[in-house]
Chain A
Amino acid sequence: MEVSDHGTGLQTAPKHQRHRFRFDLEKVTPYLAIAPFYLLFLVFGLFPILFSGYLALSKWDGIGQIQFTGWTNLQRLAQDTDFWLSLKNTVLIWALGTFPMLFLALVLAFMLSLKMFKHKETLKALLFLPNITSVVAITILFGLIFSNLDGLANGVLHLFGLRSINWLTSPNWVRVVIASVNVWQYTGYNMIIYLTGIARISKDYSEAAQMDGANNRQIFWKITVPQLKPIILFTVMMSTIGGLQVFSEAQVLVPSGATPQGGAMTIVYYLYNTAFTNHQFGYGSTIAWGLVALIVLFSAVNWYVTTKRIQGVN
């Protein structure tokens, strides 16, 4: 936005009109500087988006002719129970992961903002660490922890005399395991966001509350949470977009035999299988656009809620 305004501004300046074709290094340099990103975006961003839009209305196995089939794929998508079950799995995994994670992040951020904790920077770094580790590596580790036969999780259950759980093959538990990978990885990230938010809350509120005899729990619920509302809604929105795209965790935990009824099939996993395992690139693209529509829908709801709610708070 900024760049294009700048450009038109220069062009309309009368001084430059006489030398329309003169090469002006100063004018060109900013464009050159930003060119790599835009060129790459054109090739790896915009082109695939447009192409997948075309593929979504076609049938293509990746080599032969692309056959335009019109609305057939969309009709198939609407009737595809696997797609809707994958959506259900995705939403469940998102809900199972996001709400505990955000609450945990909020509590951690609040605790870190209290005066009684020392070594705050170290704690912040430690809690943020999972976010910069590779999701595949983490997931392999979680796969070992939750393996059906001899995993650590079942070992702990045995220790307490409980029966072992089929973590990775029971539809409900596999969703919990996938969600827990997310919780582990993104709690620290959201905590940092909340911490910056808490830093912006005026100390006057909590000091006044303390003078009136409020304890930390009351300060958390009555001051921190209401003041952080816009930021909480922002994190909910971001994790919704991220949560709808959950893939690696499911694919690494359940590399084969993942089914929509089995709980581990998410929308992106279904898309991936359709396009890259079964080589149905046309229908795969249709699923991708179905996902786009869902994200737009969720974002619209979020946007509506946030704008209304923020106005309400302020």
Chain B
Amino acid sequence: MKLKKYGLLLGLALCASLALGACGKKNAQASQGKIKLSINYYNGAISKEAMANTKEHFSKYQLQFKQVPSNEDFDTKLKASFGSKAAPDITAINNNIEDYLPYKTKFVNLTKYGTKKLAKDYVTWKWDSTYADPDYQIAMPIDIGPKALMFNVANFEKAGLPTDPKQVSELIKTEDDYLKAAAQMKEKANLPMFLSAVALFEDREQKMTKGIFKNGELSLGEGQLKEAWDFAVKAYQSGYTLDVKLGGADNANAQQKGLYSAMNKASWAIADLEENGTKPGTWLIAKAPGQPSNTGGSYLAVLKTTAHPQEAAEVVRYLTNEKNQRANFKELSLFPTHKAVYDDAFMKTTNKLFGDEQYNPYFVDAANAMKYTESDPRSGTVQRIFEDQMQLIQDQNKNPDQAWADAVKKAKTID
């Protein structure tokens, strides 16, 4: 019954949309005859102002921006559209660009359209991540997510730790310093330093400078993944973690009430803090300890199926230029990849959440210090296996050695 009803509804909707779609197409073509380019993006990837700028700049083209949901289906739909007429001319790609590098032929090689000379303008490691091989660039970077240390002021004060961001940056420089501060937090304030074992592990994974795979073979970052694992396990076993799940109501609650004390977060987490109803001045930002790291950041690519590669490449170049990255930062807090944006005004950015603190230098430091790590399309899957085992340690107190062994065993089956 249910199936039939939905089938009928779907049928009606489809017929209606086909009919409407056909009409729309005819009218648009008849009335204008301009070059038409469609751009698929997900919510929060491109600002409204950047879109308006681009439409104005390319008034000779007809640009169609289409917002699509940013869940896992985004990749599935994009992959399904390859080679079909339904494919957009330009698409946003999330930070999983490594999934697409092996399929460079599905994308227009942007180096053919003069992007090589732009390399110096962009953050190097992010720029490098767009190359399938030294002469084949599949995308241009929009934004990045460099990370800094966000700390809870009241908790730090209670533990006798400094609360001035500069002093915090001085005190907590290495991972060991981070653990020492956590020990002090537990001892003097009886509060956990970190959200959870899993969150800590994921943070450390992002600091790895070597890939999960080396020359196509599982290498687990040549010991770096185990270091990250041991670090998280140690913090967990020492009682430095609150052990609440990343994301979701409990996490928001914990941030708001300061139930834990520090987190390495990307610049866009500022928006999360705001959304979670954190009061101004409760959290401040310092330099992240240890290796510089990044999480997130989108790209724009031109699909091979486009009829107008030259024009589409022009639009991608324009959408990722300095002017539009400034607009993205202003409207969506997207951290720019265009280095010209990192000027004095940018460095002096403040947010009422952090009083008069000028926090951007910490993020810029991380952005500039990052190095490109080659990534394999299977890396994400393998990392999730380890994260799931860490979750079992966190939730069920699973034996860490057993958990590690189980994860390694499962990781070896991924091909």
Contact = CB atoms under 8 A, between A and B. Distances in A.
Contact of A150 (B4, B246, B253, B414): B253
A64 B82 CA distance: 10
Interface residues of B, number: 48
Given A36-B11, A36-B15, A40-B7, A256 B246 contact: yes
Contacts of B72: 276-277
Nearest to B198: A257
Contacts of B415: 59
Given A37-B11, A278-B380, 10 more contacts: A39-B11, A62-B79, A143-B248, A147-B253, A149-B244, A169-B245, A256-B245, A257-B246, A259-B389, A277-B384
B377 interface: yes
Contacts of A276: 72-73, 76
Interface in B38-77: 72-73, 75-76
Interface of A: 36-37, 39-41, 44, 59, 61-64, 76, 82, 143-144, 147-151, 166, 168-171, 255-257, 259, 261-262, 276-280
A81 to B, nearest CB: 9
B270 interface: no
B250 A64 contact: no
Interface string B115-153: 000000000000000000000000000000000000000
A170 B391 CA distance: 11
B249 A147 contact: yes
B392 interface: yes
A61 B396 CA distance: 33
Contacts of B7: 37, 40-41
Contact of B244 (A148, A171, A256, A279): A148
A132 B41 CA distance: 32
Contacts of B391: 257, 259, 262
Interface string B383-399: 01001110110111010
Nearest to A151: B249
Contact of A61 (B244, B377, B388, B394): B377
Given A63-B79, A257-B245, A278-B384, A262 B73 contact: no
Contact of B250 (A40, A59, A76, A147): A147
A82 B381 CA distance: 15
A169 B248 contact: no
Contacts of B12: 36
Nearest to A76: B413
Interface of B: 4, 7-8, 10-12, 14-15, 72-73, 75-76, 79-80, 82, 99-100, 102-103, 106, 198, 244-250, 253-254, 259, 377, 380-381, 384, 387-389, 391-392, 394-396, 398, 410, 413-415
A279 B73 CA distance: 11
A268 B413 CA distance: 21
Contacts of B392: 259, 261-262
Nearest to B377: A61
A190 to B, nearest CB: 15
B383 to A, nearest CB: 11
B248 A147 contact: yes
A39 B7 CA distance: 10
A148 B250 contact: yes
Contacts of B99: 61, 279
A256 B394 CA distance: 13
A149 B260 CA distance: 13
Nearest to B388: A259
A235 B248 CA distance: 35
Given A147-B249, A256-B246, A256-B247, A279 B254 contact: no
A280 B384 CA distance: 14
Nearest to A144: B249
B9 to A, nearest CB: 10
B195 to A, nearest CB: 12
A36 B11 CA distance: 6
Contacts of A148: 244-245, 250
23 contacts: A36-B15, A37-B7, A37-B8, A40-B7, A59-B415, A61-B99, A62-B75, A63-B100, A63-B106, A147-B253, A149-B244, A150-B250, A169-B394, A170-B395, A171-B396, A255-B248, A257-B388, A259-B391, A261-B396, A262-B392, A279-B377, A279-B381, A280-B381
Nearest to A150: B253
A259 B395 CA distance: 11
Contacts of A261: 392, 396, 398
B249 A143 contact: yes
Contacts of A166: 395
A277 B245 CA distance: 19
Given A40-B7, A262-B396, A277-B384, A64 B102 contact: yes
A47 to B, nearest CB: 13
A151 to B, nearest CB: 8
A54 to B, nearest CB: 16
Nearest to A276: B72
Residue among B8, B80, B387, B388 with the most chain A CB within 10 A? B388
A36 B8 CA distance: 8
Nearest to B83: A63
A143 B71 CA distance: 20
Contacts of B75: 62, 279
